[in-house]
Amino acid sequence: MSDKISEKFTDFGLSPALLRAIKVQKYEDPSPVQIQTIPAVMSGQDVLAAAQTGTGKTAAYTLPILDRLTRGNEVRSNHVRALILTPTRELAAQVYDSVVNYSRFLPLRSTVVYGGVKINPQMIRLTRGVDILVATPGRLLDLYRQNAINFQQLEILILDEADRMLNLGFLSEVREIKALIPQKRQTLMFTATFSEDVRALAEEFVSQAVEITIDPEVITLDAVKQWIYPVDKMRKTALFIHLIQENHWEKILVFTKTKNGADHLARKLMKAGISTATIHGNKSQGARTRALDEFKSDKVSILVATDLAARGLDIDQLPLVVNFDLPHLKEDYIHRIGRTGRAGATGEALSFVCFDDFEKLADIERLTKQVLDRRTVEGFEPEKELPPSRLDLRPFKPKKPKKPKKKKQIESLTGN
């Protein structure tokens, strides 16, 4: 890569058609991840990048691969030239929308495939061949087993949100896909964090990769006001309803740690007369799309989601995020609160924290380098008081990568 740091999209050498599409999207200046990623991808290098949703990472890889594909061979029937793997249907749909928007003035074909919908229309769309295919792992393998797709022409593989792919148990499928595609290819991996497992996966997939890290704190923390409510576990729902009614909150994205927890909370909220929808892995694709549309159009006030379903959601003007349960992984806290405070707007994020969550709270405060403000509500004071926070500013020690495990055949997760 050149020592020069590009500050305008025109500095990258992108085609006039792509620059025109960028202008239509009203993007002016490239983001930090785009400044570092685009030149590396255009020069044909592998990339390993840590960047949160909302940093512009989709454009960071979509723009240069579109540019490269315009200069290649025409795609043959049932073949694909660039494959973008995503862990969830929602993220696949969102990435595909970006591909369509940026390629609007290019003679390239693209499509998206995922589970939860009929497979035959997807097979039909693949018959002519596509330059870019966005896919979830399980549905991609289903299509391959039905001879609907051929990887001989594949030039570029992108693993988007590789950490989430691993957390959801897709390692077996991802390795199976790797065995089917050409060894000689360009590979781009994007992840929220460089965890031990992601490092191990990178050793299998990328070669002499350019490594890029975008500090998540710069992305979300400055724009989001954060605080916690210490509360007993059994009183979280009652406190939440009280706060909604007291503050007249009207648009909230709420995170729970389980699908059953999401459904249980939604039932309680609706019983209290608060319009609510849920989105999680047990919902059909149609139900998930409907719930998101109702929330975006303000037909419901509250969307209750699990981390899986919320990954990749893009919701404009979201004022408040609520962590009804703290996340399993401290890094997911930053991802969650990053749903608000986007595109120059400010946002708020509150978390309910019970005594048993104190270690998780301490890890989140260590990661974000701040002690979160505590608020109590009269009548909801916890019986088991939270210990005081003592901010630990030591960085987390990176774990040594494990040796890749031998491939195991496991069943695809339903709907992917």
Amino acid letter for position 197:
D
**Segment among 15-29, 58-72, 134-148 with least mean pLDDT:** 15-29
Identity of the amino acid at 34 = Q
Whose tokens are 């609907």? That residue is 148
- Distance, in Å, from the CA atom of 247 to the CA atom of 412, rounded to the nearest integer, reads 43
The pLDDT of 91-105, averaged and rounded, is 93
Measured CA to CA, the distance from residue 162 to residue 180 in angstroms comes to 19
More confident residue, 207 or 314: 207
Task: State the Cα–Cα distance between residues 198 and 407, nearest whole angstrom.
Answer: 16
Q: Mean pLDDT, the chain, as a whole number?
A: 87
Contact 125, 345 (CB under 8 A): no
Q: Is 257 helix (H, G, I), strand (E, B) or coil?
A: coil
For 218-374, the fitting CATH number among 3.40.50.20, 3.30.1360.200, 3.40.50.300, 1.10.260.30 is: 3.40.50.300
- Structure tokens given for 35: 């400044």
Residues 6+ apart with CB under 8 A from 93: 112, 114
Q: Which of 182, 146, 160 is closest to 50 using CA atoms?
A: 160
Q: Angle between the 285-296 and 89-102 helix axes, to the nearest 10 degrees?
A: 70
Nearest residue to 233 (alpha-carbon basis) of 261, 271, 253, 263: 261
Euclidean distance between CA atoms 200 and 35, whole angstroms: 26
* CA pair distance 250, 319, nearest whole angstrom: 9
Which helix H or strand E contains 36, and what residues bound it?
Answer: helix 32-42
pLDDT band at 8 (very low <50, low <70, confident <90, very high): confident
Q: Is 42 exposed, middle or buried (0-12, 13-18, 19+ CB in 10 A)?
A: middle
- The pLDDT tens digits for 277-331 are 999 878 877 788 889 889 989 999 999 998 765 666 667 778 999 999 999 888 7
CATH 3.40.50.300 domain locations along the chain: 9-214, 218-374
What CATH architecture is 9-214? 3-Layer(aba) Sandwich (3.40)
